[in-house]
């Protein structure tokens, strides 16, 4: 039986180079646009023989003698991958939000970063921008050190001494995630630590990290009033609001969006993506429909990701252990996110 839910807030001819210089244009090379077209021919994302389904099996059984094109489902899958692999003109920042703990923010951050890393070939960072202790550091494979964002902040002067800085110089601060092809930067893990990451510290870290990574996927804490939280939102190219299909996390996400609109981020809210995660094997259908309807009116897209037992333990993320349906759902979600970048 569905419980009562609190009201959700906010309801011609080409000009040749010789012509431009006053010449006749005879025997001149092609213009810049022609050269660029030659070097970068249009890509057919659905081209090539089928690899999946009965079409793919037929091609393999006949050694490629019979090679049919991909079916509708496989073409759609290839288009989804192409969306994730789209080119960006500059580094992009994705910020994952919900002020309520247990909303799946860290899991979403890691799975978005992993999907981007695997399909784009790296240069992706999952960054825990919690002002104090966050969970991302215990959800990733460690790389032989215990350094965190706070360590990097203390040693930033070495990156500002005028010498050439390379991506490898960050290896002692981030954790490489193997086949998932992304790096992770943890927040402070010292329970007795006395220093927090504030907005100014976030800005200093962002100035360095955005020089080396194509995409930053930023996990956030629960305090919407923290200066580092607000600084991340200011830098965001794409907001991702995450909620489980529960009353408390759903209400937190709705309040978040209303607060962002009141703070002048209405355009970012309208372009945001909402991800609804099933918290267990059962879902309250009435609440599910209500959340879909509410967030569908406020944000650009609402996507569902399934419950997966492989994520219950809360330990380091193991992509290979995930159900194929889970991986496909996060690929679909990441493609929609990438379309907003």
Instruction: Tell whether 69 and 176 lie within a shared domain.
Output: no
Q: In this structure, are 70 and 92 located in the same domain? A: no
Residue 91 within any structural domain of the chain: yes
226 half-sphere exposure, CB direction, 13 A CA radius = 18
Measured distance CA(178)–CA(141) in Å, rounded: 8
Residues 62 and 148 in one domain: no
In which band, very low, low, confident or very high, does the pLDDT at 68 lie, cut at 50, 70 and 90? low
For residues 319 and 270, membership in a common domain is answered with: yes
Per-residue pLDDT of 7-18, as tens digits, reads: 565 553 333 333
Given a cut of 60, whether residue 38 has pLDDT beyond it is no
Check residue 305 and give its pLDDT: 96
The confidence score (pLDDT) of residue 132 equals: 74
Q: Does residue 281 lie within any of the structural domains?
A: yes
Do both 128 and 261 map to the same domain?
yes
Task: Give which of 119, 100, 111 is closest to 136, Cα–Cα.
Answer: 111
Lookup: tokens for 245: 């299909």
Q: Is pLDDT at 232 greater than 90 in this prediction?
A: yes
Q: In the predicted model, what is the mean pLDDT of residues 197-203?
A: 94
Could you tell me if 107 and 185 lie in one domain? yes
pLDDT of residue 162: 56
Q: How far apart are CA 268 and CA 233, in angstroms?
A: 9
Tokens 């000009």 found at: 15
Tally of domains in the chain: 2
Containing domain of residue 110, as a range?
Answer: 87-339
276 and 308 both lie in a single domain: yes
Q: Looking at the domain assignment, is residue 52 inside a domain?
A: yes
Within this chain, do residues 111 and 77 fall inside the same structural domain, yes or no?
no
pLDDT of residue 4: 44
Query: Domain of 137: which CATH number?
Result: 3.40.50.300
């Amino acid at each position: 039986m569905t419980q009562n839910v609190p009201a959700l807030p906010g309801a011609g001819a080409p000009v040749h180079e010789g012509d431009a210089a006053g010449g006749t244009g005879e025997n001149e090379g092609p213009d810049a646009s022609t050269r660029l077209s030659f070097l970068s021919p249009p890509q057919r994302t659905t081209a090539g023989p089928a690899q999946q389904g009965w079409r793919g099996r037929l091609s393999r059984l006949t050694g490629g003698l019979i090679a049919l094109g991909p079916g509708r489902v496989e073409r759609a899958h290839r288009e989804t991958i192409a969306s994730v692999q789209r080119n960006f003109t500059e580094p992009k920042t994705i910020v994952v939000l919900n002020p309520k703990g247990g909303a799946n923010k860290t899991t979403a951050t890691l799975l978005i970063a992993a999907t981007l890393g695997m399909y784009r070939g790296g240069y992706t960072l999952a960054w825990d921008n919690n002002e104090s202790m966050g969970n991302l550091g215990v959800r990733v494979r460690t790389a032989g050190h215990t350094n965190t964002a706070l360590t990097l902040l203390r040693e930033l002067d070495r990156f500002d001494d005028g010498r050439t800085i390379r991506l490898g110089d960050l290896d002692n601060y981030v954790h490489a995630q193997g086949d998932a092809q992304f790096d992770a930067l943890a927040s402070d893990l010292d329970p007795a630590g006395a220093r927090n990451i504030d907005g100014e510290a976030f800005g200093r870290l962002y100035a360095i990290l955005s020089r080396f990574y194509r995409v930053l996927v930023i996990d956030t804490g629960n305090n919407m009033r923290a200066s580092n939280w607000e600084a991340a939102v200011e830098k965001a190219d794409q907001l991702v609001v995450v909620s489980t299909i529960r009353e408390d996390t759903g209400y937190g996400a709705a309040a978040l969006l209303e607060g962002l609109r009141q703070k002048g981020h209405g355009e970012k809210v309208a372009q945001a993506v909402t991800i609804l995660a099933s918290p267990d094997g059962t879902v309250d259908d009435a609440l599910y429909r209500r959340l879909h309807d509410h967030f569908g009116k406020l944000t650009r897209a609402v996507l569902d990701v399934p419950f997966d037992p492989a994520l219950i333990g809360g330990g380091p993320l193991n992509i290979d252990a995930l159900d194929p349906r889970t991986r496909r759902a996060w690929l679909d979600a990441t493609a929609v996110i990438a379309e907003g970048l």
